[in-house]
Amino acid sequence: METEGYRRIYRRLRRSGRTINHKKVYRLYCLEGLKIRTKPKRKKRNASSQQLPLPKNSNEVWSMDFVFERTIDGRKQRILTGIDHLTRENTILQAEFTFSSEKLIRYLNTLERLPRAFVLDNGTEFTSKDFQKWAEDKGIEIHFIEKGKPTQNAFIESFNGKLRDECLNLHYFKNQRELTDALRIFQKEYNDERLHSSLNYLTPSEFKRSYG
């Protein structure tokens, strides 16, 4: 929705202690060329049996996916992304040149916490026997979406779009190091500063704390 950005800015200004009229914020928002008209989203079809209900606790269900980027040095980067379905917290954001199932498992083992279930597409890293065995050993359920239906993984698709529009498309990265630095900044801003209308205009970190 084209006015969502203006609402987020207005609420952040109010939270910072500034007294300002929302109409003035909207006028400045438009004058600065920040108002972008987007195509209306199609209504989602009836839920598939692959989809899970919204969890009642954080770290119950995460989605994972990959985003691709190319740095100025010509190297192709694979960015592993992950998000908590309840809190919308960005739990995974890691760039590598390649992401085999072995490297994926090695990275996930470095995390301080893991979910009870993953929602994933049918990528080879996720469907590999090694990853399946690792998840089974960890007691993590795996739920695959239907092939060709990324909308069944709407939470991570939405996050990937924001990552693309608000970080990757705004910069040219010389190398993986620059990309990694930018991802860390984006992750902190997303979790600790970005207000989400779906969370009653709280940040993911705030919502997670308030949810107990």
Q: What pLDDT, in 10s, does the model give residues 132-152?
A: 999 999 999 999 999 888 889
Q: What pLDDT, in 10s, does the model give residues 60-99?
A: 999 999 999 999 999 999 999 999 999 999 999 999 999 9
Q: Backbone phi, then psi, for 65, in 5-degree steps? A: -165, 175
Asked if residue 65 lies in contact with residue 153, where contact means CB atoms within 8 angstroms, the answer is yes
**pLDDT greater than 90 at residue 36:** no
61-211 homologous superfamily: Ribonuclease H-like superfamily/Ribonuclease H (3.30.420.10)
CB half-sphere exposure, 91, CA atoms < 13 A: 27
Packing angle between helix 204-211 and helix 176-192, nearest 10 degrees?
50
Domain ranges in the chain? Answer: 1-40, 61-211
pLDDT band at 191 (very low <50, low <70, confident <90, very high): very high
